[in-house]
Amino acid sequence: MNAIDTIINDPSGSAHASAGQRMTGSEMIVQVLVDEGVDTIFGYSGGAILPTYDAVFVHNRREQDAGRPGMPLIVPASEQGAGFMAAGYARASGRVGVALVTSGPGATNTVTPIRDCMADSVPIVVICGQVPTHAIGSDAFQEAPVPSIMGPVAKHVFLVTQPERLEATIRTAFEIARTGRPGPVVVDVPKDVQNWQGVFHGASRLAIPGYRRRLAQLDGSQLADAACADFFRMLAQAERPLIYAGGGIVNGGAAPALREFAAAFGFPVVTTLMGIGVVDTRHQLSLRMLGMHGAAFANYAVDDCDFLIAAGARFDDRVAGIPGRFAQGARHIAHFDIDASEINKVKRVHWSHVGRTADALARLTEYGRQAGFRRDWSAWHAHCAALKETYAMNYDRASELIQPNHLIEAINRLTKGEAIISTGVGQHQMWAAQYLDFREPRLWLTSGSMGTMGFGLPAAIGAQFANPGRLVIDLDGDGSIRMNLGELETVTTYGLPVKVVVLNNFGDGMVKQWQKLFFKGRLSASDKALHKKDFVKAAQADGFEFARRLDRKADVERVVSELIAFPGSAFLEVIIDPDAGVYPMIGPGQTYEEMITGDWIRSRNPRPAKPPDSSELF
């Protein structure tokens, strides 16, 4: 098949101001980025991507001469940082993030953020330079087999060896990244393709008929009256309905529909780690986060419910450790998802809908109202309220040491659920999820499925570029921030008012917690008390004017207030109780009945920690 036969030329492309002009491949890449509304690029240069970097430079110079901001190219400390900045941008804005990197190590350094985005359904486009087409496969300098490496971890990978397809490929990459279940798309562009010259069409796309057919099916998947009736038939039999909402609600823009659905019929809501913010955490119907480190009251509500409504969630191992015993009291389970492969993958359900969840929830709300559906669930609401009071989050408030929970509560009182919070991965991540409020989606940015340490700081940078007027805080751990500590300089280089808070317990706290519980206290390679890192000096060396260490409990409120009020980049290291643990905790492969609540949270099934067997996950 001729390359041109696989390209669709939209007639509307003739209206494009540049249609019919001759351009280099690099200029075409830049023009498509402009057409797609890209306003920020994150990337690190190198030989194989230099033609495109030059095209970005020329474009930005032309825009700036005309009084427009152009498309700034933000240079991180590493390509991994670029990938996570693009991810933070996408997570905080809902728009496609863009990373532009060179070949070989430049491309392979983005593997982790690409997999992270795939696991959490985050739309980014990574454009990689590649050695010239004739040199592919010859082990040329800085060559890497990008399609082979990236294929298993990305939503899609393109290697452009036919330059006539370049424009259409870049445009199609954005379409694939943002549509359906979002995800990362990689475009590998050889240097000779970037230097090639051809005619710019203005609206060409690749045909991809199978993909677009599946999208059309999703668009056409509407809830019929019979399906709505079946849902409400099950609901009429319920005494204790509960919504279990996940990251798919955020990614699908379905939070307003879910909030209206819950309010219309009085459903309490628990969320996954990735679903935080789909309902205001301060709302009376919110039971906050469920799962391995979810609130005890949330987990008990799941055990007690008799109709579980899963929306944009996938019953993953952090939530449903033993699927057969998850929500074991539920007579019925309903499941909404945009991805058909998630239905019955882990947990068998009684009713399901594959399609756009926002549309489905709106349809059910409309149907229930028109049918006059009414149920008195006041007893269930009272039960949930009692769970929240009896099994409330708590910690050692009398300790003389700074408890991380106390520090986070101080931040929360000032941010009032309106700040964008990014985190690394570990104990600090779970404390933040447990104790911070979020009034809306896209304020909580964290690496969920991959659990990638080093995510927090570059993600906060990307989020700040996406939302220049908002307060952005990276709440990090001493182990996690070390992974991408070089991005502190990126914060100050670009004058970003990002606030960085490092909870320092001198080690990999979550690993230490597991070792204490399940490995008889043998702290193998997790205790970093002997390390000499001075985070404050590191921040000062990277240009932070506000760089302080907080080690007295009496100073918490004052120093946190000063941090938040500081107008520019600010860094705070907090020396926390090194023995503070994250509770509640459910061991891998264990049930909510076996939840460990620690010394400060009540349990309705007190029992000692049971070690996981050798086959269980971390």
Using CA atoms of 24, 26, 28, 32 in order, give the dihedral in degrees to the nearest 10: -170
* Burial track 581-592 (b if 16+ CB lie within 10 A, e otherwise): bbbbbbbbebbb
Q: Are 172 and 29 in contact (CB under 8 A)?
A: no
Q: Closest Cα to residue 464, out of 399, 419, 433, 508?
A: 419
Catalytic residue, from 21, 142, 162, 540: name it: 142
**From the CA atom positions of the chain, what is the Rg in Å?**
25
Distances (CA, A) of 157 to 9, 150, 160, 206, 224: 22, 7, 10, 13, 36
Q: What is the DSSP string of 16-55?
A: STTTT-EEEHHHHHHHHHHHTT---EEEE--GGGHHHHHH
In sequence order, the 6+-apart residues with CB closer than 8 A to the CB of 70 are 59, 60, 61, 62, 63, 64
Q: Which of 57, 64, 141, 418 is catalytic?
A: 141
The answer to whether residue 141 is catalytic is yes
Residues 277 and 288 sit within 8 Å (Cβ to Cβ): no
Given the residues 155, 191, 388, 528, select the one marked as catalytic: 191
Q: For residues 337 and 554, give the distance between their C-alpha atoms in angstroms, rounded to a whole number.
A: 48
Distance from C-alpha of 242 to C-alpha of 452, rounded to nearest angstrom: 30
Residue 385, CB-side half-sphere exposure with 13 Å CA sphere: 8
Q: Is 418 a catalytic residue?
A: no
610 among known catalytic residues? no
Q: Using CA atoms, how far apart are residues 610 and 357, in angstroms rounded to an integer?
A: 38
Q: Find the catalytic residue in 79, 167, 342, 573.
A: 79
What's the sign of the alpha-carbon dihedral 151, 153, 155, 161?
Answer: negative
Catalytic site residue 510? Answer: yes
Which member of 23, 274, 453, 510 is catalytic?
510
For the annotated catalytic residues, the residue numbers are: 79, 141-142, 191, 510
